[in-house]
Amino acid sequence: MKHYICILLGFVAFTAQAQNPIPSRVGSGLDAGFAFKKDNYVPALTYFQLLNIGGRKRLVSVGWTARLAKFHGDNLNFYTAPANLTRGATGFDALGPALKATNIDTVRFDYVTNTSINFGVRAEVHLGPVDLGGSADVFGLAFGKTRVGRVISSSGRYTTAGPNGDTTYTFTGDRRFQRFRPTGVNVRLLGDNDIGNLAAELYARVRINQRLAIKAGYQWQTAEMYIRDRDIRPTDGNRRYRHRVGMPFVAVTLPFFN
């Protein structure tokens, strides 16, 4: 959190001394936000650049975002992630079928974190001093520490290579405890096709003045971890587990001016 605070203070100093509040067709700024819920919290910094549409009234803006976020969670369950297991299909065919509960395994983490850097899209509607909008991460990268998770599976098995060939084990006893890391590549592909650590949000923003606005809304966060050890080969082919959570958030917006 100290790093986030230092970055935020630097931007505040920059905007206070170096900006000229003259609006242009292209607007940009920084959101410094915090999403929170029991057992979860996510501080984030989001740079955005928006193209104002609608002539002089500029009623609508569309553009892109670059988001740096740190996901924190305590006592969380992660579930089987790949769409071919959760829905029995991939692509658009995975958007309709019901969840296949018999294919879902669980990983329990006492504590889990990841850091993600994602690029996304954003759209806003401007109603006087109020902006209504939404944004979604599209692609990016994630990294973080290795965490030990407890695999909960009634039928899950994995194989490992040994001196006498492959041996198959179940996730029982000490073998329940496996090492995981955040999935490194993030890609939004809709529904259970998604890969990695992503977020989407809907929000309302109130402009206090030309240099400051307050933003509040709701975020949908996805965190994903994968089995780190390559010699652990699950028989169903799955190495990825995800946790999805919705939570409110608040943010301060600092507009930039050209």
For 193-221, write each residue's pLDDT tens digit: 999 999 999 999 999 988 899 999 999 99
Percentage above 70 pLDDT, the chain: 88
Task: Tell me yes or no: is domain 26-256 CATH 3.40.50.300.
Answer: no
Q: Is 144 exposed, middle or buried (0-12, 13-18, 19+ CB in 10 A)?
A: buried
The model's pTM is: 0.85
Q: Token digits for 94?
A: 């995975």
Sign, CA torsion 58/62/66/70: positive
- Residue in 112, 101, 107, 120 with CA at minimum distance from that of residue 194: 120
Range with the largest mean pLDDT of 21-35, 93-107, 146-160: 93-107
Is the confidence at residue 22, as pLDDT, over 80? no
pLDDT at 232: 84
Choice between 181 and 154, residue whose per-residue pLDDT is larger: 181
Q: What is the pLDDT of residue 5?
A: 46
Answer yes or no: is pLDDT of 233 > 90: no
- The mean per-residue pLDDT over the stretch 84-102 comes to 92
* E strands present in the chain: 26-37, 40-53, 60-80, 106-127, 130-143, 147-152, 157-162, 165-170, 177-182, 185-187, 198-209, 212-227, 233-234, 240-256
The mean pLDDT of 126-152, rounded to a whole number, is: 95
Strand boundaries in 153-236, DSSP class E? 157-162, 165-170, 177-182, 185-187, 198-209, 212-227, 233-234
Give the residue, 47 or 165, on which the prediction is more confident: 47
Identify residue 48 by its one-letter amino acid code.
F
CB 84 within 8 A of CB 102: no
Q: Name which of 221, 220, 224, 219 is nearest 195 in CA terms.
A: 224
Give the 3-state secondary structure of residue 197: coil
